[in-house]
A and B are shown apart, each in its own frame.
Chain A
């Protein structure tokens, strides 16, 4: 799945075009930012015109949208959801909280930098980001996909040990199925 610009074959270009225009989004409503998803999907901003569509379960989804702060408790569920998703998959970090902790920078039970635990492809900053910026973030993801640069999932697989170590530091009682892709 690692395909940089130079090595993209015709098939990749076609497939990336389709991927780009058909993103099934799993909005994991972790933080307050989730409230901006309904206006993004409905009449006013209408994300469906970009081919974006809500997916009901991780199995069907392409994009995992982490909408805001992640508590240490939800992190475990999010990791599980992410690992259940099928390749190719992308993660969008939504709101300042996913970038550096935002207004929860000194909280004892939220994680600060999402990228340490899950491979983030695109960040959307703002507290909370308006639907325009959500859409611009998604358009950015689309252009990354078209260029074959949205390789978060591959990065995750390569550096699984590092990610696992970080995750286990936060989650002491690690009772999770081991996935081997």
Chain B
């Protein structure tokens, strides 16, 4: 009985993440269009795209890894989704939360891009290869402030559990973004790179790299990547809300908080042109890392 409940819980979480993530994607397209003074597609455009992609034939074969690549990303997204608690204090299914989940999450979040790198490497498309190198170098850039922010949190509150951090915030009544502000600043700056909107869209770079790593993937593979990207966006946003904004008591508050947070990279992206790879890395190793360092010092000495 409990097993069935767990499986149902996992499916419900995936459906929730998929729906929210895809809708956010559509809303972002709408917002971008409005900023460009266009009408833009309807907010459910991404669902139509997904449905269409599911109906396309996919007769591309470059070898085994190419077929595994999208699956790896999907697995990584779903596993990290299972680890991040959706709501405060058991308001949603438990899934796989456990004591050291913050550290595990750090690892599993880079698993998807690495799998993708293997998959895209096998397609032999030069655009994919360039996209992958750019993506991995950018990851080296933003992972540093991001890990520093997380380490600062772990040191300050002496825990590696997301649920604990949420509990501490609820008990003390202050959000982490106020009780450890430098960690929040570093994490938000790292988030800009994580979401890969301009000016950090050097991986996909449509006109320059022909969409980079995914350039050999059409049809169902593109669908897999699109949906895993949406799920992963939900995971990251929920994680940020959990860590810095005191979690959420119900789904409506969760959607409001994540959406507000999501607007930071989106709005910053709409008005920015694209960086080159080294500019992007230099950005992350500049102020974000400085704030990360400050956060650790703050956590240790204050």
Interface residue A60 (Cβ < 8 Å from any Cβ of B): yes
Residue pair A48, B41 in contact (C-beta under 8 Å): yes
Q: Which of A21, A60, A85 has the most chain B CB atoms closer than 10 A to its own CB?
A: A60
Partner of A57, one of B39, B40, B58, B210: B210
Residue pair A49, B211 in contact (C-beta under 8 Å): no
Residues on the A chain within 8 Å of B222, using CB: 60
Within B168-223, the residues touching A (CB, 8 Å) are 206-207, 209-211, 214-219, 222
Partner of B211, one of A21, A46, A60: A60
Nearest B residue to A46 via CB reads B38
Residue pair B217, A51 in contact (C-beta under 8 Å): no
Interface residue A6 (Cβ < 8 Å from any Cβ of B): no
Q: Measured between C-beta atoms, what is the minimum distance from A181 to chain B in Å? A: 6
Residues on the A chain within 8 Å of B206, using CB: 54, 56
Residue pair B57, A59 in contact (C-beta under 8 Å): no
Residues on the B chain within 8 Å of A107, using CB: none
24 inter-chain pairs at a CB distance below 8 angstroms, sorted by A residue, are A15-B51, A19-B55, A21-B48, A21-B52, A22-B51, A22-B52, A46-B40, A48-B41, A49-B40, A49-B41, A51-B49, A53-B49, A56-B207, A56-B211, A57-B216, A59-B60, A60-B211, A60-B215, A61-B218, A62-B56, A86-B57, A86-B59, A88-B57, A181-B59
Q: Measured between C-beta atoms, what is the minimum distance from B127 to chain A in Å? A: 8
A86 to B36, CA, bound (A): 31
Q: Which residues of A contact B (CB under 8 A)?
A: 14-15, 18-19, 21-22, 42-43, 46, 48-49, 51, 53-54, 56-57, 59-62, 85-88, 181
Given A21-B52, A86-B218, 20 new contacts (CB under 8 A): A18-B52, A18-B55, A19-B55, A42-B36, A43-B37, A46-B33, A48-B38, A48-B39, A51-B49, A56-B207, A56-B209, A57-B218, A59-B60, A86-B56, A86-B57, A87-B57, A87-B59, A88-B55, A88-B56, A181-B57
Partner of A48, one of B40, B60, B214: B40
Residue pair B41, A59 in contact (C-beta under 8 Å): no
Nearest B residue to A85 via CB reads B218
A15 to B39, CA, bound (A): 25
Within B21-72, the residues touching A (CB, 8 Å) are 29, 33, 36-41, 45, 48-49, 51-52, 55-60
- With an 8 Å Cβ cutoff, the count of chain B residues facing the other chain is 32
Q: Measured between C-beta atoms, what is the minimum distance from A87 to chain B in Å? A: 4
With A48-B41, A86-B58, A86-B60 already in contact, the answer to whether A43 and B36 are too (CB < 8 A) is: yes
Q: Measured between C-beta atoms, what is the minimum distance from A50 to chain B in Å? A: 8
- Scan B67-102; emit 1 where CB is below 8 A from any A CB, else 0: 000000000000000000000000000000000000
A165 to B290, CA, bound (A): 66
Q: Measured between C-beta atoms, what is the minimum distance from B201 to chain A in Å? A: 12
Q: Measured between C-beta atoms, what is the minimum distance from B243 to chain A in Å? A: 34
Residue pair B215, A57 in contact (C-beta under 8 Å): yes
Q: Which of A21, A43, A59 has the most chain B CB atoms closer than 10 A to its own CB?
A: A59
Nearest A residue to B214 via CB reads A60
Residue pair A56, B33 in contact (C-beta under 8 Å): no
Residue pair A51, B56 in contact (C-beta under 8 Å): no
With A49-B40, A51-B45, A86-B60 already in contact, the answer to whether A59 and B217 are too (CB < 8 A) is: yes
A19 to B56, CA, bound (A): 9
With A57-B210, A86-B58, A87-B56 already in contact, the answer to whether A18 and B51 are too (CB < 8 A) is: yes
Residue pair B219, A86 in contact (C-beta under 8 Å): yes
